[in-house]
Structure 1
């Protein structure tokens, strides 16, 4: 179920293609302090699964805490595009909202990982809850 999708930041300066080995099945959120404030849903790609078409030089990097995860943003519009994961440094988490033609609202249920008790700190991986979108009746 590998998918290759077009993606971009909000202003279009950063444009890239992403290969998702598990498609949208890898979509998830996290409860760590940063992800809670950022609010993005991420899907998984291998480190060689992102090909920048334009704007790679316009990305800026943010790191905090253990400085293992590397979070990338468009320096023009500020949109988070992707990050190299702390839980698996061999993967990128890609902002699902950057994928053209897709929206987090396309997924009815999104697992939320326990990022406060992080696996890299010795805690077992755990789903903390489910983020659910239910469309209101019109």
Structure 2
């Protein structure tokens, strides 16, 4: 069941809300970007399930594209905290938004740890299968 969560960067320059159904799962990826951030995301949301409330002018963007599609990692240019990402990966259903679960201000720890967790092998652009090793994620 979808619930509206509220999130922000550390300095509160960027705030947002997102409609997330944790029962659909959370995800961790082994690509070098996600691994270096120890990123743990809410699954791929429809773009309409994410609303930026403040800080559009404070958001920085790190984008990447390739044969697999394109993605943008968004973070606050003031405090550096990553809040969300968006892009298009055809193999994962097209347009998407992801939310960094650590940026949610009202997510209960019990709800987080009880949500299903899926691992993705983004390092090899094999989004439908988990990587061989996940302990470091």
Q: Same fold (TM over 0.5)?
A: yes
| Residues 11-64 of structure 1 deviation map (CA, whole Å, 9 limit, x = unaligned) | 1110111111x2254211101111111211010321111112211221011023
User: Is the CA contact 2:8–2:15 (under 8 Å) kept in the aligned structure 1?
Assistant: yes
User: Is the CA contact 1:41–1:104 (under 8 Å) kept in the aligned structure 2?
Assistant: no
Give the 5 Å matches for 1:94-105.
Answer: 94-102=99-107
Do residues 56 (structure 1) and 49 (structure 2) align? no
Cα deviation for residue 130 of structure 1 reads 5.2
| Higher percent of residues as helix | 2
Give the 5 Å matches for 1:1-138.
Answer: 1-20=1-20, 22-23=21-22, 25-44=24-43, 45-64=45-64, 66=66, 68-87=70-89, 88=92, 89-102=94-107, 106-107=112-113, 110-119=117-126, 125-128=128-131
SS in 1 for 2:80: coil
Structure 1 residue runs of 5 or longer lacking an equivalent are 133-138
- Asked which structure has the greater RCO (Cα within 8 Å, sep 6+), the reply is 2
Q: How many residues align?
A: 127
SS in 1 for 2:57: helix
Cα deviation for residue 111 of structure 1 reads 2.6
User: Is the CA contact 1:96–1:103 (under 8 Å) kept in the aligned structure 2?
Assistant: no
RMSD of aligned residue pairs (Cα, Å): 2.6
4+ aligned runs moved over 4 Å, structure 1: 129-132
TM-score by structure 1 length? 0.78
Structure 2 residue runs of 5 or longer lacking an equivalent are none
Change (3 A) 1:33 1:104: farther
More divergent stretch after superposition (61-70 vs 74-83)? 61-70
SS in 2 for 1:116: helix
